[in-house]
Amino acid sequence: MTKSFDWQKQTQKEWDNQASFWSERSKNVWDLGSRKDIIPFIQNHFKPGLKIIDIGCGDGYGTYKLKKSGYDATGIDISKKMVDLANQRFNDTGIRFQQGDVNQLPYSNNYYDGIMVINVLEWTDNPAKSLKEIKRILKINGIMCAGILGPTAGPRAHGYPKVYGKEVILNAMMPWDFLQLAKESGFQLLDSYGVYKKEVKDHHINGLSRQLKQALSFMWVFMLRKIEQ
């Protein structure tokens, strides 16, 4: 990666460009699509009233669902256009949305009870650095719900120009990589589940190891507890 390629700026530009497209489909993704089970999953592990931040909140619909579920929810995203859409869409809900970088979060240490970070860490240029910053703002014994795209996710094709030596933002971390990183970073796995494309049926994955199941997944969703400062 040359010094002229600024990963953060390119990420912001990419998501600014995708803001309108994502906003048109986010409700369906959260209510009926690949993210439909995330809020119920969180409810199984997070007590109502906890202070939760949605990192990579996009247009804010997932944050809004957290708020509706009884949490003190806040949203942050690297894209200004996404944050503007979130503030317009949910301006009467009391949710605070702001622009910010996962590598430089504007919050004090041990501030949040919980964190939701869906399809963010695998798109950073240094996931270990990003996870360290996320961990910093999470309380000891706080819980993080993280979604990591699997090998069958369409967005992975975004990184294809890399084969020609082009500098692009790409998803280079698989679910099994993330789990190892999380454990090495002071997190304990509490629970997880896989999200699959409709062509993958139960009989395709029954009896497989977790890693083989992840190899067929569109996304893997983890619930982890911070056990080290």
Beta-carbon contacts of 147 under 8 Å, excluding residues fewer than 6 positions away, are 35, 38, 117, 118, 119, 219, 220, 221, 222
What pLDDT score does 185 carry? 98
Least confident segment among 12-21, 135-144, 181-190: 12-21
Residue with tokens 């996009």: 58
pLDDT value at residue 3: 57
Q: What is the dihedral of CA 208, 46, 137, 18, to 10 degrees?
A: 70
Could you give the domains of the chain? 7-226 (3.40.50.150)
Q: Which helix (H) or strand (E) holds 184?
A: helix 175-184
Q: What percent of the chain is modeled with pLDDT above 70?
A: 98
**Euclidean distance between CA atoms 34 and 41, whole angstroms:** 13
Report d(CA 174, CA 151) in Å as an integer: 7
- Closest by alpha carbon to 56, among 95, 20, 12? 12
CB 207 within 8 A of CB 227: no
This prediction has a pTM of 0.94
Mean pLDDT over the full length of the chain: 94
With 70 as the cut, is the pLDDT of residue 1 above it?
no
The widest CA-to-CA distance across the chain, in whole angstroms, is 49
CB 219 within 8 A of CB 171: no
**What pLDDT is recorded for position 223?**
98
d(C-alpha 229, C-alpha 227), whole Å: 7
pLDDT at 2 over 70: no
The Cα 141–Cα 143 span in angstroms is: 6
